[in-house]
Amino acid sequence: MRNIPHSFLWLLFCLTFVLSACNNQQAMTKESGEMIARINGEPVFESQMTVELKQQLKKHTNPSTEIVNTVRQRILEKVIEREVLYQASHGLDIPDIDEKTEEEFQAVKRGLGSEERLQSYLKAYNLTEKQLRSTARRKIYIEEYLNGKGLIDPDIPEEEIRSFYDRKPFKNEEGMRVRHILLAVAEDMGAAEKEVIRQKAGELRRLIAKGEDFSALAKEHSDSAEAEETGGDLGYVRKNYMPPEFDAVAYSLKVNEVSDVFETKFGFHIVKLIDKRPAGIVPFNEVSDFIKRYLQNQRRPQLIAAHVKDLRAKADVEIIAEN
């Protein structure tokens, strides 16, 4: 399943764990609260607003009745929009829906950080794991539906991408792409301890000279934050961004050349120059994909909002209780 950009999912659900729709009025339960609306005959319950209502009202100190009712009405409209989207997705066949639901559920748990925080969150909003899984399932159906309608990655014509580039050319500052090993030194570290670290850096440099892989050594030994994930690749770094000693060494290297061990206030470094980039205009082919994604991100919410508005207009919506 294609991943919808995080910003959209956050906007659409905002970790609002709503109950799945019941099939008929007799299916109402005490936990669901009163029925507040019907959409194409399907009931919507008060509980489907609870989390988001609490979250929004936290932004106000002693909210007045008018503010509560205004916020409540706005959230009710969101719930109705989500419900018409979900109902529109009913005809979809998702063979591995159970597996995807569990993956989504586990992703939410990871996002909350721990089992303890999950249980605390559920308790705070009077929810259950079953309701959370139900929401994950609904979310998957809505994602699949929107993707099938071409609303997640809307088509952007090539001429529009080119026009955007021509109006706003992309400029590069002078920069360099380097791979980096850092052996960190604490400010209060004594001379003897620093010497041990310097010698370790020297040994790593000798291993590189013998042909050992720079990236592998960076992953294993570097104290730099990105090392384990990128093998020490810092990407393109503009001039004067790093300490002066770092720039002086890096800019003196030839492409694919590895520096000797050198010191900055952060510790001992070994740098490999991967590429140098002069200042200038970035070629269109290097930024066309970025521009396309940018334009898609701009257009996506507009297209989804228009589609939801159309579904809402065609739906039979009955508001039972607004206050």
147 and 47, same domain (yes or no): yes
What angle do the packed helices 129-148 and 97-112 form, to 10 degrees? Answer: 120
What CATH number is given to the structural domain containing 221?
A: 3.10.50.40
Question: By residue range, what is the domain housing residue 121?
Answer: 6-156+295-319
Rounded-to-integer distance, Cα 177 and Cα 175, Å: 7
128 and 221, same domain (yes or no): no
For the chain, what's the residue count? 323
Q: Are 176 and 275 in contact (CB under 8 A)?
A: yes
Rounded-to-integer distance, Cα 313 and Cα 309, Å: 6
Q: Are 136 and 104 in contact (CB under 8 A)?
A: yes
With a cut of 70, which residues of the chain have pLDDT below it? 1-33, 321-323
Measure the CA angle with vertex 170, ends 168 and 176; round to 5°.
170
What does the H/E/C string look like for 192-241?
A: HHHHHHHHHHHHHHHHHHCCCCHHHHHHHHCCCCCHHHHCCEEEEEECCC
Residue 321: the pLDDT is 55
136 and 219, same domain (yes or no): no
- Give the tens place of pLDDT for each residue, 22-35: 333 333 343 456 88
- Give the tens place of pLDDT for each residue, 227-241: 888 999 998 888 888
180 and 106, same domain (yes or no): no
274 is a domain residue: yes
What CATH number is given to the structural domain containing 56?
A: 1.10.4030.10
Residue 123: the pLDDT is 86
Residue 11: the pLDDT is 35
287 is a domain residue: no
Q: How far apart are the first and last CA of the chain?
A: 39
Residue 164: the pLDDT is 95
- Cβ count within 10 A of residue 317: 16
211 and 271, same domain (yes or no): yes
Residue 27: the pLDDT is 38
139 and 190, same domain (yes or no): no
145 is a domain residue: yes
Q: How many domains is the chain partitioned into structurally?
A: 2
125 and 189, same domain (yes or no): no
DSSP code string of 82-140? HHHHHHHTTT---TTHHHHHHHHHHHHHHHH-SHHHHHHHHHHTT--HHHHHHHHHHHH
Rounded-to-integer distance, Cα 271 and Cα 274, Å: 9
143 and 194, same domain (yes or no): no
127 and 267, same domain (yes or no): no
244 and 301, same domain (yes or no): no
Residue 20: the pLDDT is 35
